[in-house]
Amino acid sequence: MQDLNFVQIVNSTVSLQGRPFESRACPDHYLGPLTSLIGQSDFLHRLSSSQRINAPCLIMVLESPHVDEFSGEPGPAKGFTGEMIRKYLPDALDLSAIAPMGLILMNAIQYQCSLGSNTTVYRDRIFRAVWSHGGQEDFLRRFQTTVLPRDIVMNCCTKGNDFEIYPPLRNLVEAAIRSIRPEFQAIRRMHPASWRDPSWRGKEWRYQEIARSGADRDQSTLIA
């Protein structure tokens, strides 16, 4: 397994001319039963994902933490994204049969790929660099350690801004999940930050795998 050195990857990928950036990791969290968080003003529970209940959970995967996630102790979906999850998850997913489940939030990459700037500036480039230099292996290690057989996986990663040139970010994550757990056909939904628009809440994005050649021979081009 490749070692993941976020600071080194950032410095070798972009030139920040000495500008500092957030280098802490944002841990995966167990946030309690779905019944206790829907409609709340904040998540009432925040525990390490290793402290999850020994019962089925909904595992929601996001691509990487942004700014609010590093306010105080780092944690996933601490700002607007968390608000959208608590308000609109029942619109994005039928909870009638899974309400007793717990919720686990994971970032595919636990580091701030946006470097604190607008997500159009650095996020996609840093995500791809980290993913190909140990990030994918790190995600799969955490995923395998966390997931239980009866869990439901919900891939809510963004596709990124450069998806017309490179494989969408969310599809890289989906391909990684399927590579080790083919039985997990993840529920695919738009990023929760988009759920302010009712038309995006229950929308499923399309996954299609197309083989490539050349430098990308060993990687799939995945089109949403």
Q: What is the pLDDT of residues 143-190, one digit of tens each?
A: 999 999 999 999 999 999 999 999 999 999 999 999 988 887 789 999
Name all contacts of 38-45 with Cβ < 8 Å and 24+ positions apart: 38/86, 38/89, 38/90, 38/95, 39/86, 39/87, 40/86, 41/86, 42/82, 42/86, 43/77, 43/82, 43/86
Q: Give the separation between CA 155 and CA 63, rounded to whole angstroms.
A: 9
Helix axes of 169-180 and 136-146: crossing angle, nearest 10 degrees: 50
Q: Is residue 181 part of a domain?
A: yes
State the chain's mean pLDDT as an integer.
90
Domain membership flag for residue 218: yes
pLDDT at position 185: 76
Q: Which residue type occupies 167?
A: P
For residues 209 and 224, what is the distance between their CA atoms, to the nearest angstrom?
A: 9
Q: What is the pLDDT of residue 221?
A: 35
In a domain, 33, yes or no: yes
181 half-sphere exposure, CB direction, 13 A CA radius: 19
Please, which residues bridge with residue 57 across strands? 102
The ranges of the chain with pLDDT < 50 are 1, 210-224
Q: What is the 3-state secondary structure (H, E, C) of 92-105?
A: HCCCCCCCCCEEEE
Is the Cβ–Cβ distance between 154 and 58 less than 8 Å? yes
User: Looking at the domain assignment, is residue 17 inside a domain?
Assistant: no
The boundaries of the domain holding residue 182 are 6-11+24-223
Position 78 in a domain: yes
pLDDT > 70 fraction of the chain, expressed in percent and rounded: 92
How far apart (Å, rounded) are the C-alpha atoms in residues 190 and 207? 13
| pLDDT computed for residue 2 by the predictor | 52
Work out how many domains the chain is built from and give that number.
Answer: 1
Q: Name 129's Cβ contacts closer than 8 Å, sequence gap at least 6.
A: 9, 10, 12, 13
